[in-house]
């Protein structure tokens, strides 16, 4: 593992030199290495773009965000594999240990390299507040990566658990690789401290494939709703109000238009992942993975079609049945991003990290969980449903009105979160797991233990980092 981390450090230095406004993988203007990579404001921007390159899990051909769409939705029961069901579809998670781990730690290392290099520069090397902004953007990437690891490899739902995140707050070298995982509380505290700094110092305006203070507020809402501690739900509501009242973002009039036409030009997108220049011609592009043309096919399952019963969005989110029913019965083309048969475009290849829709739905959930007005929460959910073309005559809309208790309304908020956010960045999966365990088992019968909420830490971590500590409960280190 020492050799692996040494290679990783070199890769980060190289990729930190990549990037520009038009294309994440454009050749660097400055190829200096190690401590000399960041020598002034322009090279700090190049390094920051390299951190975004890692955040997007990119190559020079395409971004690698599709697993953010597929894995959580598969765990939730809505997306599957078109050529035969995999173990993920039954919530058997032992085979996913490296899925987000390596990607997240590459992004962390790149962000920490930027933070170290920029911190060492004098303030006078930057115009205005740009030094603080660069540091804030790098810390957003660090917070996002740590939270991804917390959400999938740590007992995030147990604040007193020792099974938290292996926090990385500096560029990895041979002298600091060995490290123990932190507790869950320490993990939350570290992530929130980074996000608070981004909110204080991050740019208010940026192209929406770069981070802003508004993106940090939205991500902080995700973190707090999961932690669910004293005052957290009130803070979620306050953050939502700040975003909706003061930010430049507005809900898209048509959800279908957002994914099929507008893409990153939509004023609803708080943070997205911009495709690489060559991505639309890649034979293994995301678009081709949702419609035959690549070696894999990811499909909508019957549960997703059923979720949209009585909902006009079903007609464009769930496509026709695939011709591979003998391998994966009761599956349909997943058409949220691309009309069946459409060739890849920049819009169909775009990915979405944070949208204003989620802000509304998280606020609704926080209102219910904090003992607030159910009527206010329903209004927020209906606002989102109306953007999807629903009226009181539609069954999902009526179900929200009929939810007379907090418990019932939380289930309806989960259902609307799944309809609105399926196949994006895991909101539907996390919303499910925030429900009481007995409710989770009813909604997703393949989950019989909270062990299935998270996946095992990769085995190599225990072999080459003996200080890491314990494996996640229910999983073996052998």
Residues 278-293 pLDDT 10s: 999 999 999 999 987 7
Q: Model confidence over 408-446: pLDDT tens digits? A: 999 999 999 999 999 999 999 999 999 999 999 999 999
Q: What is the mean pLDDT of residues 26-49?
A: 69
Structure tokens at 39: 């020598």
Distances (CA, A) of 68 to 39, 65, 192: 34, 6, 22
pLDDT for 18 beyond 70 = no
What whole-number distance in Å separates Cα of residue 276 and Cα of residue 429?
28
Q: Model confidence over 439-472: pLDDT tens digits? A: 999 999 999 999 999 999 999 899 889 999 999 9
Which single residue is written with the structure tokens 């110092």?
201
User: What share of the chain has pLDDT > 70, as a percent?
Assistant: 92
pLDDT for the residue numbered 87: 86
Using pLDDT thresholds of 50, 70 and 90, give the confidence band for residue 175. confident
**Do the strands 331-334 and 298-301 form a parallel or antiparallel pair, or are they unpaired?**
antiparallel
CATH 1.25.40.10-classified regions of the chain? 206-274+351-425
What whole-number distance in Å separates Cα of residue 302 and Cα of residue 296?
19
pLDDT for the residue numbered 14: 34
pLDDT for 25 beyond 50 = no
- The yes or no reply on domain 206-274+351-425 and CATH 3.40.50.300 is no
pLDDT for the residue numbered 439: 98
pLDDT for 32 beyond 70 = no
Structure tokens at 296: 């894999």
Using pLDDT thresholds of 50, 70 and 90, give the confidence band for residue 20. very low
User: What share of the chain has pLDDT > 90, as a percent?
Assistant: 84
What whole-number distance in Å separates Cα of residue 407 and Cα of residue 435?
9
Structure tokens at 424: 């994006």
- The secondary element (H helix, E strand) that includes residue 364 is helix 356-369
Q: What is the mean pLDDT of the chain?
A: 91
pLDDT for the residue numbered 36: 53
Q: What is the mean pLDDT of residues 99-126?
A: 95
CB 106 within 8 A of CB 53: no
pLDDT for the residue numbered 476: 85
CB 418 within 8 A of CB 434: no
* Mean pLDDT lowest among 222-236, 340-354, 437-451: 340-354
**In the chain, what is the straight-line distance between the N-terminal and C-terminal CA atoms, in Å?**
16
CB 453 within 8 A of CB 433: yes
pLDDT for 379 beyond 70 = yes
Prediction pTM value? 0.92
What is the chain's length? 478
Dihedral angle at the C-alpha atoms of 301, 307, 312, 317, nearest 10 degrees?
-30
pLDDT for 112 beyond 80 = yes
pLDDT for 11 beyond 70 = no
- Listed residue (377, 382, 444) closest to 406, CA to CA: 377
- Listed residue (138, 144, 143) closest to 112, CA to CA: 138
- Beta-carbon contacts of 432 under 8 Å, excluding residues fewer than 6 positions away, are 76, 414, 418, 440, 443, 444
What whole-number distance in Å separates Cα of residue 84 and Cα of residue 86?
6
Structure tokens at 387: 């953007």
E-only strand ranges, 53-151: 79-81
What whole-number distance in Å separates Cα of residue 76 and Cα of residue 422?
9
183: left (phi over 0), alpha (psi -120 to 50) or beta: beta
Fold of 1-65+92-202+436-462: 1.25.40
Comparison of pLDDT for 109 and 11, the residue scoring more: 109
- Listed residue (452, 432, 454) closest to 442, CA to CA: 432
Instruction: Report the b/e string of 146-178 with b at 16+ CB within 10 A.
Output: bbbbbbbbbbbbbeebbbbbbbbeebbeeeebe
pLDDT for 31 beyond 90 = no
Structure tokens at 128: 């205005």
CATH 1.25.40.890-classified regions of the chain? 1-65+92-202+436-462
């Amino acid at each position: 593992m020492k050799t692996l981390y040494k290679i990783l450090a070199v890769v980060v230095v190289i990729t930190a030199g990549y990037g520009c406004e038009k294309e994440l993988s454009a050749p660097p203007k400055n190829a200096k290495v190690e401590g000399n990579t960041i020598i002034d404001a322009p090279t700090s921007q190049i390094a920051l773009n390299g951190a975004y390159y890692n955040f997007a899990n990119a190559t020079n051909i395409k971004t690698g965000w599709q697993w953010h769409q597929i894995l959580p939705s598969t765990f939730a029961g809505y997306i599957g594999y078109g050529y035969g069901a995999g173990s993920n579809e039954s919530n058997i998670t032992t085979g996913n240990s490296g899925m987000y781990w390596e990607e997240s730690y590459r992004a962390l290392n790149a962000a920490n390299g930027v933070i170290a290099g920029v911190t060492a520069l004098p303030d006078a090397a930057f115009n205005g507040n740009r030094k603080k902004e660069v540091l804030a953007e790098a810390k957003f990437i660090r917070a996002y990566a740590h939270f991804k690891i917390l959400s999938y490899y740590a007992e995030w739902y147990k604040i007193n658990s020792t099974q938290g995140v292996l926090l990385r707050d500096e560029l990895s070298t041979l002298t600091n690789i060995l490290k123990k995982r932190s507790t869950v509380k320490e993990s939350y505290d570290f992530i929130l401290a980074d996000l608070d700094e981004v909110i204080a110092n991050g740019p208010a305006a940026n192209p929406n494939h770069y981070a802003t203070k508004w993106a940090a507020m939205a991500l902080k809402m995700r973190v707090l709703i999961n932690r669910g501690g004293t005052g957290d739900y009130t803070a979620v509501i306050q953050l939502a109000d700040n975003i909706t009242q003061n930010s430049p973002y507005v809900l898209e009039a048509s959800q279908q238009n957002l994914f099929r036409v507008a893409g990153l030009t939509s004023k609803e997108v708080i943070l997205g992942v911009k495709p690489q220049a060559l991505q639309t011609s890649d034979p293994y592009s995301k678009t081709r993975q949702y419609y035959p043309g690549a070696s894999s096919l990811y499909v909508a399952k019957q549960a997703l079609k059923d979720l949209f019963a009585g909902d006009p969005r079903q007609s464009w989110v769930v496509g026709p049945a695939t011709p591979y029913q003998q391998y994966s019965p009761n599956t349909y083309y997943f058409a949220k991003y691309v009309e069946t048969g459409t060739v890849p475009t920049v819009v169909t290849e775009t990915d979405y990290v944070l949208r204003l829709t989620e802000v509304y739905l998280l606020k609704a959930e926080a209102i219910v969980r904090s003992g607030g007005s159910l009527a206010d929460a329903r209004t927020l959910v209906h606002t989102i449903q109306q953007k999807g073309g629903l009226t009181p005559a539609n069954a999902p809309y009526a179900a929200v009105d009929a939810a007379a208790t907090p418990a019932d309304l939380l289930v309806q908020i989960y259902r609307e979160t799944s309809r609105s956010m399926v196949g994006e960045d895991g909101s539907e999966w996390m919303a499910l797991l925030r429900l009481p365990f007995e409710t989770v088992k009813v909604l997703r019968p393949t989950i019989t233990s909270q062990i299935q909420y998270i996946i095992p830490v990769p085995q190599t971590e225990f072999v080459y980092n003996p200080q890491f500590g314990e494996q996640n409960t229910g999983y073996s280190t052998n």
